[in-house]
C-alpha cells in the first residue's frame, strides 16, 4: 500500500503561501543546543537565552501533506543581538536549515506553554476538510491538556482518520502531478517515485 505523509519540500509554491497568508520567509540555520530536546521549541529557546542572551522570536514552520494541505507549526527560535535568527532545537525532518516565517501574534495562541498548529486545505474537498478537522481536534486536545492526552481519545481520533485515509490518499494521487514532489514524502518528483 502506498503511503502519504507530511513532508518538507525543497520549495513551496507562492500560491500555497498566499493561501496561508504568509509573505515573509527566512531560511535560518539549525544549530541544536546541547541540552535541547525535539519539539520543545519554547523551552529550548528560553534555556539558550538564559545562557547566551538574545530574545524569543515566534513564527511558523511548514509541512505539506500529499499536496492537499499545509500544516503550519508554531515554532520558537533565538533572535540574536545582530537580529539574525537561530534555531536551537533538533529537527528530524530538516538537516541544517529551516524555512521560518516570523509571527509575533503567536504569543496569544500559546496554551500551557505549548505552541499551536494550523491546518490549511490547498483544495476544496469535504472529505479533506473532515480529515483536517480531526487533526485540529487532536491539536486542541494537546494544547488544552498540557500535551498529555488520554490514549482512548487518541485512539478514537486515529480510528476516524483511518476510515478517511483511503479517500485522502486517492485525492493526493489525483492532485500530485508528475513534476510535483511526491505525496509519499520522499522529496522526489512523483515521476521518479510513486509514478
Contact of 44 with 33, CB cutoff 8 Å? yes
The shares of helix, strand and coil residues in the chain, as percent rounded to the nearest 5, are: 35, 25, 40
Summarised one tens digit per residue, pLDDT across range 135-155 is 999 898 888 876 666 788 788
Of residues 124 and 95, more confidence is placed in 124
Contact of 132 with 93, CB cutoff 8 Å? no
Report CA-CA distances (Å) from 9 to 13, 39, 113, 150: 10, 19, 29, 33
Report CA-CA distances (Å) from 174 to 105, 106, 113, 126: 36, 34, 39, 15
pTM equals 0.87
Distance CA 186, CA 168 (A): 18
**Would the pLDDT of 120 be above 80?**
yes
Region of poorest pLDDT, from 39-43, 104-108, 152-156: 152-156
Summarised one tens digit per residue, pLDDT across range 77-96 is 999 999 999 999 998 777 78
Amino acid at each position: 500500500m502506498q503511503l502519504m505523509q507530511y513532508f518538507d519540500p525543497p520549495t513551496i509554491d507562492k500560491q500555497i503561501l498566499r493561501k496561508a497568508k504568509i509573505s515573509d520567509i527566512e531560511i535560518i540555520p539549525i544549530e541544536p543546543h546541547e541540552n535541547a530536546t525535539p519539539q520543545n521549541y519554547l523551552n529550548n529557546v528560553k534555556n539558550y537565552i538564559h545562557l547566551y542572551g538574545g530574545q524569543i522570536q515566534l513564527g511558523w514552520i511548514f509541512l505539506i501533506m500529499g499536496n492537499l494541505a499545509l500544516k503550519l507549526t508554531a515554532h520558537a527560535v533565538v533572535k540574536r543581538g545582530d537580529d539574525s535568527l537561530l534555531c536551537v532545537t533538533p529537527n528530524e525532518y530538516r538537516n541544517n536549515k529551516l524555512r521560518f516565517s516570523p509571527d509575533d501574534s503567536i504569543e496569544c495562541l500559546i496554551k500551557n506553554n505549548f505552541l499551536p498548529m494550523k491546518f490549511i486545505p490547498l483544495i476544496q474537498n469535504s472529505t479533506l476538510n473532515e480529515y483536517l478537522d480531526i487533526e485540529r481536534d487532536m491539536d486542541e486536545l494537546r494544547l488544552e491538556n498540557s500535551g498529555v492526552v488520554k490514549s482512548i481519545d487518541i485512539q478514537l481520533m486515529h480510528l476516524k482518520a483511518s476510515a478517511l485515509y483511503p479517500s485522502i490518499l486517492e485525492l493526493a494521487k489525483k492532485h500530485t502531478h508528475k513534476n510535483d514532489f511526491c505525496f509519499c514524502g520522499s522529496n522526489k518528483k512523483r515521476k521518479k517515485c510513486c509514478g
